[in-house]
Structure formats: C-alpha cells, structure tokens
Amino acid sequence: MSRKSLVPKFALKLPWWFDLILAGSVYYGLKYWAPTLYFQNAQINRFVHALPQFAELFALILLVNGIFSAWHAWQKGK
C-alpha cells in the first residue's frame, strides 16, 4: 500500500527558488493587484475583493512547499 504524501511529487521536482518567486508573485497579485480589478458581476467582484485577506495564506503554502523542495534537493545532493 502506498503512503500518501503531504506534498505531491511533481511539486518537489520544482526548484526551491521557483516556489519563492511564485510565492512573492502570488502575494503581490492577490494583495495589491486583485483589488484593482472590476467586474460587472457583483458576486465575482466581491470574491476578487476578498482575495487580499487570503494572500498571506496562499503565499505561506507556497513557501512551505519551497522549504520541502529545498530539503528534498539537499537530500539528493543537488
């Protein structure tokens, strides 16, 4: 029986610096860029304007993935 991992294997194969850049981009995009968007649909508009509250959470998830990826690369000797 295979053991389920918290981090998918494809995510560990990405370089750790890619996750750091992606985390910064996601944080900036959700925190500062998303509130500037305007949509005609009120529900989508409310959803997009609620995204800055979750910017830290999404960036933290990517940072944790970057830590796992760096650890995995260190274990393999890269």
Q: How many CB atoms lie within 10 A of CB 66?
A: 21
**70, 23 contact by CB (below 8 A):** no
Q: Residue 14: pLDDT above 90? A: no
Flag whether 1 is in a domain.
Answer: no
Structural tokens at position 36: 């500037």
Question: What is the chain's alpha carbon radius of gyration, rounded to the nearest angstrom?
Answer: 16
Flag whether 5 is in a domain.
Answer: no
Domain that holds residue 51: 14-76
Flag whether 6 is in a domain.
Answer: no
Q: How many domains does the chain have?
A: 1
Q: How confident is the model at residue 24 (pLDDT cuts 50, 70, 90)?
A: very high
Q: Is the pTM of this model over 0.85?
A: no
Flag whether 7 is in a domain.
Answer: no
Flag whether 4 is in a domain.
Answer: no
Q: Summarize the confidence of residues 38-67 as an average pLDDT.
A: 92
pLDDT of residue 15: 86
- Helices 55-76 and 16-28 pack at an angle, to 10 degrees, of 170
Q: Summarize the confidence of residues 47-53 as an average pLDDT.
A: 93
